[in-house]
Structure 1
Amino acid sequence: MRALLSLVTGVVVICALYFGRAVLIPIILAVLLSFLVAPFVDLLRRLKLGQVPSVILAVLVALSVLTAVGALIGAQVAQLASDLPRYQVAVERKIDAVQEKTVGRADAFLGKAATALKRISPNRQEEIRKSQENQTASPIDAPMPVEVHEPSPSPVELAQRFLSPIISPLETTGIVLVVAIFILLQREDLRDRLIRLFGSRDLHRATTAMDEAARRLSRYFLAQLGINMGVGIVISIGLAIIGVPGALLFGVLTGLLRFVPYVGTWIAALLAVIFATAVGPGWSMMIWTIVLFGVTDIVAGQIVEPMLYGHSTGLSPFAVIVAAVFWSWIWGPIGLVLSTPLTLCLVILGRHVDRLEFLDVLFGDRPALTPAENFYQRLLANDPDEALVQAESLLKERSLSAYYDEVALEGLRIAHQDVLRGVVTADQLKRINESAMDIIEGLEEVEDVVMAARPDEEPPASLEMSDREAGIFHEAPPAHFDAASEGHTSSVLCIAGRGVLDDLAATIAVQLFRKHGLGADLAPYERFSRTRFDEVDLTGVSLICVISFDAAESPPYLRNLLRRLHQRAGAADLIVGLVVPDSALEGEAVIRKTSAATSFKELVEACVAAARLQTTNGVSWEGLNPEEPVPVADSGKAPAVVPVLRGA
């Protein structure tokens, strides 16, 4: 019923937009004009001009600009029409040349085809000739020509015929200006009424949504207006240098048509190229016109626009195309121009209204999946290459340990939950392990360096993320610990849990330990199980890490393993990860002297701190000659046979 109700609501809204376009278009234009003029009104109010004079002056300036643009276009069109006889010879010459290369060749081809047909069927041609002679000689009455004479129109009809195309745009313009004036005069009151109507239950969300919509739309319109004016000026100057007549007209058209996403510039370019081809004495004018439009569009779209308002407007390219098609179908050419700002309003609405979140997912430029979800999805798809590309992109802003904590660890936790639910097949589990190992191996050469945090920098529109992703890009990166450079050299024995994904987590931990100057060795759980634990020699082991995703549930096997390790290596520092905060494992009496780490960052910090403490407290060697050189643990050897630093 909920889905059916949503479908019916969508159909009703679309029908209302289509049949009510005569009323809605002026109102929407007035709202968008108010967003464009609002910064100028605020500037005038800061100059102590007063609210009403500021609004009237700003609207008069906007009206003057629109009138000037319309007059300029009309003057340029009239001038081109008056100068058209001057280009008639060039146009006729180009037409003859084109006909000679196309129609002439076609006529020659058709002539050859006709000759071939005559050779094939000469009798058929004779039958056609006789049939035409019989029709001419037949007494059938030929149709008589008829002429229709309309009465001369009256002066009223003439005035209506000539003024109706002018009155309709003037009427729409007047409505837009009047509505825009009242919107600007009562902005605060209208905002409060909308909040009361739609968001009285959640004032914070409603206020945030309206402020974001106003800020982003004003920024978009001002930036787009400035860019379009600049592009129009460049096109006018360039066409004037090339020698294309009506350069100012094509510059203005380019600036206006750039409000149409993606295709607006090239519509103006097509008109200019056709005109340059027709009036130019050769083909060089056409070529230079194409080059001018191409270079200008690339510079404006790929360099200037990202510098002003980010890499996009907050909409995906797919959304821009679909919106252009939809709004042009609903409202015609005006809808095509308004498609981007209207869709942007819908996307902002979807970010703050739960039931409209699908609009943000479908049309927004934010990633549909979080980095952790994307990581897990790539593991399921057995595509480690794309996951490595994502990792390289994130590592430009984050350290390696931060990437492992916020992306890989969270993704593996999602996989662990799916394994517990029994939805992961054996084949999928195999692919997950293989792909994850490929990713870990691909990051072997990456150093775990601290990245410069930029908490005060506002991300561009294309990088705006949801609340659940914000921590990944705005938390301070972890400090970098290097035990080897400080002389704290120890070996860490990493024991993976019994879970199917624990080996992956332990492998990541070993890699991070070695990058921070600690020797590290990985041992599977089977070597420390109850039946084989007596075979293990833990002599000389000073740091032990037990890493398992089961640490959150605190299963019996994990508690028994920790108890056995305490009994056999009581002097060693024991660290357990990856513990979920406030889990049952943190309260176990058997590990009250054990450190608990919830992330790889905390795991590295705990091990480096333990290595420092062991070196500071002094060392004692069992079974060694104190006069011999102190051996250093080699990460390539088993810790059971290599002496390591041990707390006094």
Structure 2
Amino acid sequence: VALLLTFAIAPLVSALKRVGIPRLPAVIASVLGAFAALALFSFVVATQVSDLAQNIPVYQINILTKIRALKENGLGNGIISRLSGVIERVGQEFERQEPQLPSAAQTPKRDPIPVEIVAQERPLEVLQKVIEPLLSPLGSAGLVVVVVIFMLMEREDLRDRFIRLVGYGDLHRTTQALQDAGKRVGQYLLMQLVVNVIYAIPITIGLWVLGIPNALLWGMLALALRFVPYIGPIIGALLPLFLALAVAPGWSLLLWTGALFIAMELITGNVIEPWLYGSRTGLSPLAIIVAAIFWTWLWGPIGLVLSTPLTVCLVVLGRHVPQFEFLDVLFGNEPVLEPHARLYQRLLAADPDEATDHAEEMLEEKYLFEFYDQVAIPALLLGEQDRMRGVMDDEQRKQVAASALTLVANLDASAQEEAEEAEAEEEEDQQAATASAEASPGKAASAKITAGKAAEGKANDRKAGDGKEPLSEEVDLPDGVGFSVLCAGGRGELDDAAAAMLAQVLEVQGAEVSRASFIDLEPAGIRRLDLSGVDTVVIGFLNRDSTKHARFMVRRLKRLKPRLRVGIVSWSEIGNSDAKAAAELAAGLNADFVAHGMVSAVTGALSSEPPVMLKLAPQRRPRRRPARKKELQAAG
């Protein structure tokens, strides 16, 4: 408890020191203020409880009436009977009065009177009986105060000793762990207090408006009990609900009280806590429940209150100390798998539906080409690596590819929605430019410049409009209207899946897109490929070594259609921005462009550059026969 209070009071001490107050007065003032607030809180609660206890006999009739009504309806006869008996006995105890003296007309019954001789207590004995029950809690409170004061006074010294004890060889990591733990626990306690106050004030006002007696008591208990995870709010709501059952003859007050608590829980849990907390504790919801069970079993109610701060410290330890990393993995709220690894695991498990859910969650913050470039293509690269290592057989490879194609098909609606948004924004830009030109005919050129700038910043405008997170760099993909592109895989089923993703992005840009399989590009099937109306073919390879086959594919395609543009995408080098090396590789392959990611692939496919003509191989000279061989032939 002292450690927890030290974490809570430390920010106040630091704030007082920053305004020029010395350490000792700052510590004493902070501790006295905190414990005075706790004492005032306890006094108000005790006063309210005393007032409630005096009114319990008044509520007995309403409770018994409702219990008997339930009993008549046949709802839980055994339980209702026991509750009725308990309530009657409690009421009798509170209503018990001193016996009245008989009147003169009555003849009292003479019973033997037991006589007990009691020695007169001395003043010291009376004082002892009063003080003894208070010694234990007062002693514990005093001990906590002393420990808190000394921990705040020696905070830096304790920190240095802890560093020397556990992490002297790695000061950077130990310091980072201490700062992280202190920050998380301090922010958790502060935010929890703020949330509880925001929760308790409307509860108090609402109960007072509804007419629940001692509304201040229930509001203060709700504030205190919300420090106990999950169980505390339930207990804080049950007590006022029971009182609402007791004070009114009908059931409407009970229903209104329950609605008040449910509404406040929904608002607090879904609006206030996410807004104030974020991920300040770093714990998953399951970790909070497990921690509450464990620490309660270990230390009882105190462990339940301390469960979240203690578990936060353990998670921070696991985050910074490799030997305890399992604690962060088990209890932390950070994803333990990278997005692309998680997606690949779902594809490997033949679960495209969950993979689609994962993709749609990410598409709330990313555009389609970003998702494919940063998550989906890297997931396919993991599959290609497994294939090269020999841990993936043909059946698994086809299964992953089929799941990836299903994922692409499931995202057609998202792609269509994104395309419609882009078209609507482009129309708005054109209308704005036209209206500006008509309003000021002499400024038509200025309007065109404005429209051009608006088109260049279309990606940023979309980000501001739909709440998607901004890109690290401004990306303006070209318009695909008027382009006809064929996307094909290079060497396998996984390459076909990557080609399908590229085709979908090109469709979003407005291009007319068709797909082909890697089988269609083999020598036996390439002549059957329909290239009529196609101006660009894009071939993708997940395996970098497979690009050596691209030269022959480019040659075959350009022989079929000399004016065809052919591009090669090496997905294994996403992020490679070496334009000179890409141009040299394209020249060596006789390709029109070489891309290393989704953006460069779309840019190359939707380029208006003229096609690169096929370079004919030099003709070999006929080899001359040796002169001796000619003489022998002439002689023979």
3-state secondary structure, aligned to 1:275: helix
The reply on whether 1:299 has 2:292 as its aligned counterpart is no
The 2-side partners of 1:201 and 1:454 are apart by 50
1:35 corresponding residue in structure 2? 7
1:524 corresponding residue in structure 2? 517
The reply on whether 1:499 has 2:497 as its aligned counterpart is no
Instruction: Kindly indicate whether the alpha-carbon contact (under 8 Å) linking 1:482 and 1:517 is maintained by their aligned counterparts in 2.
Output: no
1:209 corresponding residue in structure 2? 177
Output the amino acid matched with 1:547. Answer: G
The 2-side partners of 1:84 and 1:538 are apart by 90
C-alpha deviations, 1:347-370, integer Å up to 9, x for none?
222222223222222222223332
The 1-side partners of 2:204 and 2:597 are apart by 60
C-alpha deviations, 1:533-592, integer Å up to 9, x for none?
678798997644321112x23465445545666888888655322243499x97869348
The 2-side partners of 1:44 and 1:400 are apart by 51
Worse-superposed segment, 188-197 or 352-361 = 188-197
Question: Given the superposition, is the C-alpha separation of residues 101 and 543 from structure 1 closer, same or farther in structure 2, using an over 3 Å criterion?
Answer: closer
1:236 corresponding residue in structure 2? 204
C-alpha deviations, 1:67-89, integer Å up to 9, x for none?
00111111112222233344455
1:316 to 284, 299, 305: 284
Output the amino acid matched with 1:607. Answer: A
Instruction: Kindly indicate whether the alpha-carbon contact (under 8 Å) linking 1:240 and 1:247 is maintained by their aligned counterparts in 2.
Output: yes
**What residue ranges of structure 2 are gaps of 5+ in the alignment?**
82-116, 423-457, 614-636
1:373 to 341, 361, 373: 341
Output the amino acid matched with 1:190. Answer: L
Output the amino acid matched with 2:495. Answer: D
2:19 corresponding residue in structure 1? 47
1:580 corresponding residue in structure 2? 572
Instruction: Kindly indicate whether the alpha-carbon contact (under 8 Å) linking 2:568 and 2:593 is maintained by their aligned counterparts in 1.
Output: yes
2:147 corresponding residue in structure 1? 179
2:378 corresponding residue in structure 1? 410
Kindly state the Cα deviation for residue 266 of structure 1 after the two structures are TM-superposed: 1.4
- Give matches, 1:537-552, under 5 Å: 543-550=536-543, 552=544
The reply on whether 1:614 has 2:610 as its aligned counterpart is yes
- Give matches, 1:626-645, under 5 Å: none
C-alpha deviations, 1:320-356, integer Å up to 9, x for none?
2111111100110011111122222222222222232
Output the amino acid matched with 1:264. Answer: G
1:352 to 312, 320, 337: 320
The 2-side partners of 1:150 and 1:475 are apart by 87
The 1-side partners of 2:385 and 2:332 are apart by 29
C-alpha deviations, 1:500-532, integer Å up to 9, x for none?
311111122222223334444433333443556
The 1-side partners of 2:64 and 2:296 are apart by 37
The 2-side partners of 1:200 and 1:474 are apart by 41
Question: Given the superposition, is the C-alpha separation of residues 80 and 512 from structure 1 closer, same or farther in structure 2, using an over 3 Å criterion?
Answer: closer
- Give matches, 1:388-407, under 5 Å: 388-407=356-375
Kindly state the Cα deviation for residue 257 of structure 1 after the two structures are TM-superposed: 0.6
The 2-side partners of 1:96 and 1:538 are apart by 86
1:83 to 45, 51, 55: 55
2:397 to 421, 429, 432: 429
Instruction: Kindly indicate whether the alpha-carbon contact (under 8 Å) linking 2:478 and 2:603 is maintained by their aligned counterparts in 1.
Output: no
3-state secondary structure, aligned to 1:368: coil
Instruction: Kindly indicate whether the alpha-carbon contact (under 8 Å) linking 2:187 and 2:280 is maintained by their aligned counterparts in 1.
Output: no
Instruction: Kindly indicate whether the alpha-carbon contact (under 8 Å) linking 2:568 and 2:591 is maintained by their aligned counterparts in 1.
Output: no
Instruction: Kindly indicate whether the alpha-carbon contact (under 8 Å) linking 1:73 and 1:252 is maintained by their aligned counterparts in 2.
Output: yes
The 2-side partners of 1:53 and 1:309 are apart by 32
Question: Given the superposition, is the C-alpha separation of residues 428 and 306 from structure 1 closer, same or farther in structure 2, using an over 3 Å criterion?
Answer: same
- Give matches, 1:3-22, under 5 Å: none
2:407 corresponding residue in structure 1? 439
Output the amino acid matched with 1:523. Answer: A
Could you tell me the TM-score, scaled by structure 1's length?
0.71
Kindly state the Cα deviation for residue 403 of structure 1 after the two structures are TM-superposed: 0.4
Question: Given the superposition, is the C-alpha separation of residues 559 and 104 from structure 1 closer, same or farther in structure 2, using an over 3 Å criterion?
Answer: closer
2:29 to 57, 64, 74: 57
The 1-side partners of 2:609 and 2:75 are apart by 92
**What residue ranges of structure 1 are gaps of 5+ in the alignment?**
1-28, 110-148, 460-471, 620-648
3-state secondary structure, aligned to 2:567: strand
3-state secondary structure, aligned to 1:545: strand
1:604 corresponding residue in structure 2? 602
Output the amino acid matched with 2:568. Answer: V
3-state secondary structure, aligned to 1:606: helix
The 1-side partners of 2:551 and 2:236 are apart by 74
The 2-side partners of 1:453 and 1:217 are apart by 39
Output the amino acid matched with 1:590. Answer: G
3-state secondary structure, aligned to 1:614: coil
3-state secondary structure, aligned to 2:412: coil
1:267 to 214, 228, 235: 235
1:71 corresponding residue in structure 2? 43
3-state secondary structure, aligned to 1:580: helix
Output the amino acid matched with 1:39. Answer: P
Question: Given the superposition, is the C-alpha separation of residues 573 and 103 from structure 1 closer, same or farther in structure 2, using an over 3 Å criterion?
Answer: closer
3-state secondary structure, aligned to 1:205: helix
% identical equivalent positions: 40
The 1-side partners of 2:118 and 2:469 are apart by 75
Instruction: Kindly indicate whether the alpha-carbon contact (under 8 Å) linking 2:496 and 2:518 is maintained by their aligned counterparts in 1.
Output: no
1:120 corresponding residue in structure 2? none
Instruction: Kindly indicate whether the alpha-carbon contact (under 8 Å) linking 1:576 and 1:597 is maintained by their aligned counterparts in 2.
Output: yes
The 1-side partners of 2:146 and 2:559 are apart by 85
The reply on whether 1:330 has 2:302 as its aligned counterpart is no
Output the amino acid matched with 1:549. Answer: L
Kindly state the Cα deviation for residue 475 of structure 1 after the two structures are TM-superposed: 5.1
3-state secondary structure, aligned to 2:492: coil
Could you tell me the TM-score, scaled by structure 2's length?
0.72
Kindly state the Cα deviation for residue 263 of structure 1 after the two structures are TM-superposed: 2.1
The 2-side partners of 1:372 and 1:477 are apart by 21
3-state secondary structure, aligned to 2:472: coil
Question: Given the superposition, is the C-alpha separation of residues 68 and 329 from structure 1 closer, same or farther in structure 2, using an over 3 Å criterion?
Answer: same
The reply on whether 1:480 has 2:476 as its aligned counterpart is yes
Output the amino acid matched with 1:36. Answer: A
Output the amino acid matched with 2:317. Answer: L
Instruction: Kindly indicate whether the alpha-carbon contact (under 8 Å) linking 1:562 and 1:590 is maintained by their aligned counterparts in 2.
Output: no
Higher relative contact order (CA 8 A, sep 6+): 1
1:508 corresponding residue in structure 2? 501
The 2-side partners of 1:516 and 1:250 are apart by 60
Kindly state the Cα deviation for residue 152 of structure 1 after the two structures are TM-superposed: 12
Instruction: Kindly indicate whether the alpha-carbon contact (under 8 Å) linking 2:551 and 2:590 is maintained by their aligned counterparts in 1.
Output: no
Output the amino acid matched with 1:578. Answer: S
Question: Given the superposition, is the C-alpha separation of residues 106 and 372 from structure 1 closer, same or farther in structure 2, using an over 3 Å criterion?
Answer: closer
C-alpha deviations, 1:108-135, integer Å up to 9, x for none?
x9xxxxxxxxxxxxxxxxxxxxxxxxxx
Question: Given the superposition, is the C-alpha separation of residues 155 and 478 from structure 1 closer, same or farther in structure 2, using an over 3 Å criterion?
Answer: same
The reply on whether 1:419 has 2:412 as its aligned counterpart is no
1:12 corresponding residue in structure 2? none
